[in-house]
Amino acid sequence: MFYRFAVRPARRWLSPLLLGLMAVPPSLASSVVEQTYISDRQTLVKGNGAEPESLDPALIRSGFPGEVVLVDLFEGLVSEDGQGMIVPAQAQRWETSEDGLVWRFFLRPQLKWSNGEPLTARDFVYAWRRLLNPAQASPSAGLLLATGINNAQSIYAGALDLDALGVEAESDQILKVTLERPVPYFLQLVSQRPFVPVNERVITQFGKQWTQPGKMVSNGPYKLASWVVNERIEAERNPQYWDDAHTRIQRVTYLPLASQHGERLRYEAGEIQLTNKVALEYYQKTMQEAPERIWGLPLLGTYLYTFNLNLPELQDVRVRQALSMAIDRYLLTEKVSGQGERPAWSLLPAMPGYDELDIPLSREDQSTRLARAAALLAQAGYNSAHPLRLTLTYNTSENHKKLALAVAAMWKPLGVEVSLNNMEWNAYQVAKNSGDFMLARSFLFGDYVEPSSMLGSFRCQDPQNESGYCNPAFDGLLQQASETLDANVRSGIYHQAEQLLMEEVPVIPVYHYNQMRLVDPALRGLPSRNLKGAIATKDLYFSQP
């Protein structure tokens, strides 16, 4: 075998459209057409799914509850609008050298932090260096490495100091970034949440407590007003924000409601205007009776189950192949999840410039797949006298429970005995991060729309590698792709890497995500094409009924 299994626990992957590398005209927040009648009510309550594990941009992980809040509290050099286009944000414009190795970002004049202090290019330098600081242990270090910034890899390996990173403030308003190689999706990368500036003085003064109300200083359209753990987070308009004049929502509240039933009841009572999820039964009922109350978009993400490859019983690839093969994705997406998700027979959904991998298994009927799975388990030494016993861990959610029960039932004809382990969000995260699981419900989202944003989470040394998968051949293909400028050739290399991953099955893809929410019909400005799924409150407003 050419691969080994990493022993160290995973941190979690990052947690997505490959867009043109070009500047576009500045976007305003919620630009409202003149004919629209604006409601006097401009306060928003959102369901947030769970309690954020942090509000520190260096510690946030893509697709996690904290990211929803940080979209409103912080802003980077550029951002993606509701149509998925890269637009200027803290940077008014940017330039790049002919060879694509030097970028200069020109900040807007007179940018300020929420406390009124000037915000300068040095704040970005500090924030980006902080992502690579070993003391910070940022789960987004891999995202910064993907940018190709000069010396980032050597700093991460401990060979150079942080001040060697190829980021410098040429003046208060000019940030210079030097790359080791051209990266065609560089703007997409730096539009992500970890690349926002943070205030060095405040962090030095308060340490880990700097994200608390009364201490946090941010630069986005909203500032933190209150945070009652496991109850609510509240943010209010930031009058220091450069485009505050176009912000309509005055105050936004985020509720960490894990129960979809509880969230729905509060929505029906008018207490929530935008839910985090919607239960299958209620989704189907609402689509028939009041479709204007359903809002949704496809996402660049995959629902999956992660194997802990450090456990002996899961190191036989035939076991993992059999378990994956026996899951009827068509039945799960039609009857269990049931909100228009596409069955995932491969890890990556289709995206611009990359076709979904063709998996012949997807065209076989379920009885054929089950017979093949039973044969593989028998070859691996499992039978009725020696059954395979699994513990499947998932975080609290009606949908996760239903899916886990359905999957366990699909494995039962193979003689597989499954124990379900339900955990609250934070405990579930601790268990996965420490490697204290056998098989866990998980997910993978792309931070930028390019295959490496998802495939990179399976590299041997990636801090987000949950399963412990490590194959130098796979890493070599990703490295080869990163050095290939021809888009078609690069896509072919990514297909090889994904094919290898699907053969070795460190995870079981189940379906590709859709984002479905219950929404107040008066709420306007929601995204129309952004596959990353971020909803910026600054773009929203309530119209009169």
pLDDT in tens, 243-281: 999 999 999 999 999 888 899 999 999 999 999 989 878
Residue 7 pLDDT level (bands cut at 50, 70, 90):
very low
Q: Please state, in angstroms and as integers, the Cα–Cα distance from residue 466 to each residue in 307, 444, 447, 473, following that order.
A: 8, 11, 17, 19
Distance of alpha carbon 321 from alpha carbon 502, whole angstroms: 9
CA 21 to chain centre: 22
The H or E element containing residue 432 is helix 425-433
DSSP 87: E
What tens digit of pLDDT does each residue of 283-310 get? 989 999 999 999 998 899 999 999 999 9
Residue 516 pLDDT level (bands cut at 50, 70, 90):
very high
Residue 12 pLDDT level (bands cut at 50, 70, 90):
very low
One-letter amino acid for residue 243 of the chain: D
Distance of alpha carbon 321 from alpha carbon 82, whole angstroms: 39
> Do 173 and 124 contact (CB within 8 A), yes or no?
no
Strand partners, 542: 523
Question: Which has the minimum average pLDDT: 24-28, 226-230, 454-458?
Answer: 24-28
What average pLDDT does range 388-407 have in this prediction?
Answer: 95
Q: Does domain 301-514 have CATH number 3.40.50.620?
A: no
The predicted structure's pLDDT at residue 35: 55
The predicted structure's pLDDT at residue 10: 36
> Do 61 and 12 contact (CB within 8 A), yes or no?
yes
Q: What percent of the chain has pLDDT over 70?
A: 93
The predicted structure's pLDDT at residue 16: 31
Question: Which has the minimum average pLDDT: 13-22, 126-135, 304-313, 487-496?
Answer: 13-22
| Mean pLDDT, all residues of the chain | 90
What tens digit of pLDDT does each residue of 496-512 get? 999 999 999 999 999 99
User: Between 398-411 and 260-268, two packed helices, what is the crossing angle to 10 degrees?
Assistant: 140
159, two tokens: 């060979």
Q: Is 60 exceeded by the pLDDT of residue 32?
A: no
Checking 94-99 for CB contacts under 8 A at 24+ apart, the result is 94/23, 94/187, 96/21, 99/182
Backbone angles phi, psi at 191, to 5 degrees: -80, -5
Checking 484-490 for CB contacts under 8 A at 24+ apart, the result is 485/182, 485/184, 487/184, 487/353
Distance of alpha carbon 107 from alpha carbon 120, whole angstroms: 8
Q: Which of 512, 466, 509 is nearest to 304 (CA)?
A: 509
According to DSSP, the β-strands at 439-445 and 389-395 are parallel
What tens digit of pLDDT does each residue of 51-61 get? 998 999 999 88
Q: Is 50 exceeded by the pLDDT of residue 26?
A: no
What average pLDDT does range 81-88 have in this prediction?
Answer: 88
Q: What are the structural domain ranges in the chain?
A: 43-253+519-542, 301-514
Question: Which has the minimum average pLDDT: 28-32, 172-176, 312-316, 348-352?
Answer: 28-32
The H or E element containing residue 127 is helix 121-132
Identify the CATH homologous superfamily for domain 43-253+519-542.
Dipeptide-binding Protein; Domain 1 (3.90.76.10)
What tens digit of pLDDT does each residue of 328-379 get? 999 999 999 888 899 999 999 988 778 999 999 999 999 999 999 999 999 9
Distance of alpha carbon 4 from alpha carbon 210, whole angstroms: 40
Q: Which of 295, 222, 219 is nearest to 253 (CA)?
A: 222
